[in-house]
Structure 1
Amino acid sequence: MQLTGSQIVVECLKEQGVDTVFGYPGGTILNIYDELYRHPEIKHILTSHEQGAAHAADGYARSTGKAGVCMATSGPGATNLVTGIATANMDSVPMIAITCNVANPLLGKDSFQEVDIAGVTMPLTKHNFIVKDITKLADTMRRAFKIAQSGRPGPVLIDITKDVTAAKTEYTKEVPAIIGRIGDTITEDAVADAIEIIKKAKKPMIFVGGGAVIANASQELAEFVEKVDAPVTDTLMGKGAFDGNNPYYTGMLGMHGTKTANLSVSECDLLIVVGSRFSDRVTGNASKFASKAKILQIDVDPAEVNKNIVVDHYIIGDIKLVLDILNKKLEKQDHSKWLEKVFARKEEMPLSYPVDRLTGPYIMEKILEITKGEAIITTEVGQHQMWAAQFYSYKKPRTFITSGGLGTMGYGLGACIGAKVGNPDVPVFNIAGDGCFRMNMNEIATATRYNIPIIQVVFNNNVLGMVRQWQTLFYGQRYSHTILNDKVDFVKLAEAMGAKAYRVTKKEEVEPVIKEAMQLGEPVVIECVIDCDDKVWPMVAPGAPINQVMTEDDV
């Protein structure tokens, strides 16, 4: 049948099972929005800013495992998506960004709101397209979804000229092909060598990254840990892939990792790396990372092997498939002496925080207690992000959603909205600092417009907390432009945007406020006033090896 380009875009979204789109209309994309008007089966969430749309699509994707979709018009609309696209790219998130550009005859003429968004985003996407021919539109849409979701996922941008959205061509509906897992790269020799290395280890450690979450490999990972009989550590992106309540779990690794994890990785004789890219925030001084260990890396992306850390052995392939094969071939190992040492270290070196006042860690522990670990936690970036990682136990994947690679301040609130839309029956909290909250707090208006019952928690210390922490420890307490001690009233702001709001200043106020917020069924903002000099401990100084992990007592 003959359809316009706009109709083809909507039909292709329906083909792919898309139920929600986040976006902001404008001149060049009006034809698509006009068609969306006729299709209420696709929910459209109008965000307050295009960046919020990108972050919401990202949070939707991370929390559901499906591709998130965002839309924007040409020029500034498209460029406002860029930070969200880069965030998704760094963390391997399947996202489709649909933009429209000026008509073909106007391209390259500095026309009103013309930007080469495909050129702008080329380094920030897994792939991108500009569609200038109506006959190629449907195939391009289908290819984009396949690319975004296959192998190592990532964002794909589709830029469509406005005349293509109005033109007509023949359209035939297609059922999307099932996207298979990558297994043809898993060789028998690689598996055999890996099993031999594991059998020889006396002090193995398993290090879990975001790839295990993406691969939905939690069940296989849990079995693998039992088979290897090894303690487990993870990254920010890997949280929830392995149950944080499991006795084998030692906490997060790296700059703000636990002493147990950092010291044990530095002492182990085999480090099994499951879906991690060896970020500098994890490795510290790369030349001294896991220096006593052989390293076995399991990853779907061959580009990650020997990129940041040289490894002794690797298996390339889908993590779920690799672990399943290893579990079938590997005999149960016994490392009881090594585990005894690690578990003793875990008892001796627990995470701690000041108990005489209201703190971020206390609030996170209260949220954990009240939700019983069943909430989705999104975060902004900074001290609050680390406290959310340290003091909330994630027992399931896709329940901790944060900007790990790009470290995007302003990410969490949009992501929280996307996660709640994708998981309406799950409580969703966004944890923010006051600095981050300022960046995209206009998205509270999005939550209230659609009555999306998110709970926004703001740790207000009137400073840029993590930057101040670095200034305190490494810059002679020169607090250059990090003090936010102004007259902003977050409670009044939230109320002005239609949200219920609370201000908490004492520990005893936290529990009743959180319980009430969870029962309201509407957007809530909770401002929690904490001390400006509270710090995230433990910490590894930049450039130091991770075994030089320090606490406040050490300083």
Structure 2
Amino acid sequence: MTNTRKQSEGAETAASEGREQPAARPGATAAAKGAPRGLGSKNPKQGMTMTGAQAVVASLEAEGVDLVFGYPGGQAIKIYDALYDSDRIRHVLSRHEQGAVHEADGYARATGNVGVAIVTSGPGATNTVTGIATAYMDSVPLVVITGQVPRGVIGTDSFQESDIVGITMPVVKHSYLLQSTDELTATFREAFHIAKTGRPGPVLIDVPSDLASEELVFEYPDEVSLPSYKPTYRGNAKQVRQAVARIRRAERPVLYVGGGVVSSGASEELRALAELMRIPVVTTLMGKGAFPASHELNLGPVGMHGSKYANLAMTESDLIIAAGARFSDRVTGRLDEFAPHAEVIHIDIDPAEIGKVREAQIPIVGDLKGVLANVVAQLVKENAQPRTAEWLAQIAEWRFRHPFYHPNVGDAPDEIVPEVVMEKLSAALDPEQSIVVTEVGQHQMWAAQHIARECPRSFISSGGLGTMGFGFPASIGAAIGCPDKTVVCVAGDGSFQMNSQEMATAGIHGVPVKVLVMDNRCLGMVHQWQHLFYGERYSSTLLDANPDFVKLADAYGWQAARVEGPDELDAALAAMLAAKGPYLLDVAISRDQNVFPMVAPGRALDDVIGAIDAAVGAVRTDVPEADGAAGGKGGTR
């Protein structure tokens, strides 16, 4: 493996427990949709003589790939020529290689399949780095195929050469530079296996252009032999029993849920545990949708822009059950004051995450779906009863007193209120038949706070890397992967312009994605920090030179509209969602709108500013004096 986070991971535990090895069970995680089709003797192309480029395409077909995103170039031209003859793979031409990888990423997150991108060498390959890093940080299964200069000139600074394997080494799960056609098919088999098993992640395959011309006899392997790579799926039985015993004693437990629940397909098991023991659930940005928003035990987002009641629940808990979450700094706040009374049960398929940030009293390495199912089964067997009645009553009191939003905090009736926009959008969407994708910034936090999601893979956002420019192309990939669902991208005017060229991709391919731009003519989140903590010194965050987004949409053949007043909002949202093709809705909001509540950088999780206190008239409290619109303590915004 090429990175310290990789999974040599649990090989000892796996051996000691006799776990079935991933090589014998391709597609062991929820990200895999069964065994790849056409492997081995079942593959109609098995034994055929073909070029390396044709073998690349045949390998993709053998893995069941029917959709790739990409952008051609000189060193990838042979692969693209072979792709021209495939009747099983659809290629979506992006307008930038970063867009292609984000599109593959959005497709993977929405469907659970491995996303695939193909690009050329040099600048084509280096343009993928941000997309690969985004997928790596959020554990998304991708295979990125890059063209490379001929083997004989690698290392000579030849035209459009870059060491993409070296450049991406810190942000891939594994990578390959093909050296011979003899290793081509085994490499592709391994790459897909690694990408989708264990903790999912991106894998890169660099294909020299001369190798793509050489002939080989196509033999695609049925199995993978990777002795050093044996992810642990079954949790240690002794540790599971310890977790069960600790859960039975807990009086103030919290289930802290991350994206691992989504990757594992463990939502039903999570719900069973929460309901059986009456445990409240808080979610990370990546975990949103893993537990139904409408469920009485769902406290929603936690952390820097989480609710005050969720943050208080974490702070006062006596047991945190971390399920597929990594104790990000955006969740914990000041670490030495985080959850001071709590013991931790940490369940994750990646042992490198356990104890990395917060010590776990009961660490369990394994796949969440199976581990949670075992925990629930043992609790049922022991007739365990919840002890959380007083705890839930306390949380209910906090929840009533400190809601995310209350109409009484509004002090500008002629302005569009971001929280209201998100709540209206949420109400207009079928939670079972829609996917919300976000860009990164204030709008992302408003969406996370106010858009209800009832099922996994229905909320897609860049969590770990926080990539501006991710959301729009990712929404295209999600919409192509889930054509029966309404896909809405919630964007900011700054983030949207990072990859707005992908409007051409959606337009030409007829992708009916909807883009709602929260347009405040500034880089909202940085502007907010400057407003609160930097004396209103707005250095390089004002975007007065924004384009007319409606005219931009028209130039790409999209439908579009702009709204500037709250009275126009309902009709505008209805028109956007009813449109048959791609649609952009430009929503004008004030630069003075801030995302609250907020835990200031370096502060404890329960040290919340801007939370609403319904007990004193539904006003935002503890807002710093530097916020001119708020007027200090008790201010509205």
Partner of 1:143: 190
Distance 1:87 1:221, change over 3 A: same
Quick check: 1:23 aligned with 2:99? Answer: no
Matched residue, 1:494: 553
Deviation at 1:516, TM superposition (A): 2.0
CA distance in 2, matches of 1:475, 1:183: 47
- What does residue 485 of structure 1 align with? 544
Please name the residue that 2:364 is paired with. 315
2: CA distance, partners of 1:79 / 1:181: 30
For residues 371 and 177 of structure 1, do their structure 2 counterparts lie closer, same or farther at Cα, with a shift above 3 Å needed?
A: farther
**What CA distance in whole angstroms lies between the structure 1 residues aligned with 2:231 and 2:517?**
41
1:517 is paired with a residue whose SS is helix
Deviation at 1:424, TM superposition (A): 0.3
Instruction: Specify which of 270, 275, 291 is matched with residue 340 of structure 2.
Output: 291
1:456-488 Cα offsets, whole Å, 9 max, x none, are: 111100011000100011101100010111252
Q: Which residue of 2 aligns with 1:389?
A: 448
Aligned to 2:497, the other structure's residue is in SS state helix
Find the aligned partners of 1:125 and 1:367 in 2 and give their Cα distance: 36
- Checking the alignment, whether the CA contact within 8 Å between 2:333 and 2:602 is kept in structure 1 is yes
- 1:365-380 alignment, distance < 5 Å: 365-374=423-432, 375-380=434-439
Question: Is 1:344 aligned with 2:412?
Answer: no
Over 3 Å counting, the alpha-carbon distance change for 1:487 and 1:24 in structure 2 is closer
**SS at 1:308's partner residue?**
coil
Change (3 A) 1:104 1:548: same
What is residue 272 of structure 1 aligned with on the other side? 321
Q: Residue type matched to 1:362 in 2? A: V
Equivalent pair of 1:285/1:546 in contact (CA under 8 Å): yes
Instruction: Output one character per residue of 1:99-124: Cα deviation in whole Å (capped at 9) or x when no partner.
Output: 01001111111100000100000111
1:211·1:275 contact (CA, 8 Å) conserved in 2?
yes
In the other structure, the counterpart of 1:553 is 621
Shift in CA distance, 366/176, structure 1 to aligned 2, threshold 3 Å: farther
CA contact (8 A) 1:183 1:321 kept: no
Kindly provide the CA deviation profile for residues 163-198 of structure 1, in whole angstroms up to 9, marking residues without a partner as x: 111101111245577999955552221011111111
Q: Which moved more, 1:514-523 or 1:75-84?
A: 514-523
Is 1:459 aligned with 2:512? no
Report whether the alignment pairs 1:229 with 2:278.
Answer: yes
Question: What secondary structure sits across from 1:220 in the alignment?
Answer: helix
Paired residues of 1:181 and 1:318 also in contact (CA < 8 A): no
Shift of 1:511: 2.1
Partner of 2:162: 115
Q: Distance in 1 between matches of 2:608 and 2:230?
A: 38
1:479 aligned counterpart, secondary structure: coil
Q: Given that residues 69 and 92 in structure 2 are in contact (C-alpha distance below 8 angstroms), is that contact kept between their aligned partners in structure 1?
A: yes
* Contact 2:233 2:367 survives alignment (8 Å): no
Aligned to 1:513: 572
1:96-155 residue CA offsets vs partner (Å, 9 max, x unmatched): 000010011111111000001000001110000000201110100110000000100000
Tell me the CA shift for residue 373 of structure 1: 2.3
Cross-structure match for 1:359 = 417
Q: Which runs of 5+ in 1 are unaligned?
A: none
**Corresponding position of 1:154:** 201
After superposition, give the CA deviation of every residue in 1:360-382 in whole Å (9 maximum; x if it has no partner).
22111111111132320111110
Name stretches of at least 5 consecutive residues in structure 2 with no aligned partner: 1-47, 611-619, 624-637
Aligned length: 555
* Local SS of the residue matching 1:22: strand
CA-CA distance at 1:322 after TM superposition: 0.3
- The correspondence of residues 27-66 of structure 1 with structure 2, limited to 5 A, is 27-66=74-113
Root-mean-square deviation over aligned CA pairs: 1.6
Is residue 603 of structure 2 the alignment partner of residue 544 of structure 1? yes
2:213 to 158, 163, 166: 166
- Residues 15, 175 of structure 1: 8 Å contact kept: no
- Per the TM alignment, residue 358 of structure 1 is displaced from its structure 2 partner at its CA by 0.8
Matched residue SS, 1:376:
strand
The corresponding residue for 2:386 is 333
Q: Does residue 8 in structure 1 map to residue 55 in structure 2?
A: yes
Q: Contact (CA 8 Å) 1:16, 1:176: kept in 2 or not?
A: no
CA distance in 2, matches of 1:128, 1:359: 46
Amino acid of the residue matched to residue 393 of structure 2?
E
Separation in 1 of the partners of 2:546 and 2:473? 25
Asked if structure 2 preserves the Cα contact closer than 8 Å seen for 1:276 and 1:299, the reply is yes
Q: How far did residue 199 of structure 1 move?
A: 1.4
Deviates more, 1:197-206 or 1:422-431: 197-206
- Deviates further, 128-137 or 184-193: 184-193
User: Structure 1 residue 3: deviation in Å?
Assistant: 1.3
Quote the offset at 1:236 in angstroms.
Answer: 0.1
Aligned to 2:32: none
Amino acid at match of 1:213: V
1:529 aligns with one of 588, 591, 599: 588
CA distance in structure 2 between the aligned counterparts of 1:516 and 1:176, rounded to whole angstroms: 51
Partners of 1:411 and 1:177 in 2: how far apart? 33
CA contact (8 A) 1:358 1:530 kept: yes
Please give the TM-score of this superposition, normalised by the length of structure 1: 0.98
Separation of aligned partners in 1, 2:497 and 2:579: 24
Q: Distance in 1 between matches of 2:233 and 2:372?
A: 14
Percent identity at matched positions? 46
Asked whether the equivalents of residues 266 and 290 of structure 1 are also in contact (C-alpha less than 8 Å), the reply is: yes
Instruction: Report if aligned partners of 1:251, 1:260 keep a CA contact under 8 Å in 2.
Output: no
- Counterpart residue type for residue 421 of structure 2: I
Measure how far apart 1:349 and its partner are. 1.1
Rounded to whole Å, the distance in 2 between the matches of 1:362 and 1:110 is 55
Q: CA deviation at 1:7?
A: 1.0
Letter in 2 for 1:234: T
Structure 2 Cα separation of the partners of residues 178 and 491 of structure 1? 54
Q: How far did 1:451 drift?
A: 0.9
Deviates more, 1:472-481 or 1:501-510: 501-510
Q: Secondary structure at the match of 2:475?
A: helix
Offset, 1:56: 0.2
Note the C-alpha offset of 1:553.
Answer: 2.4
SS at match of 1:306: coil
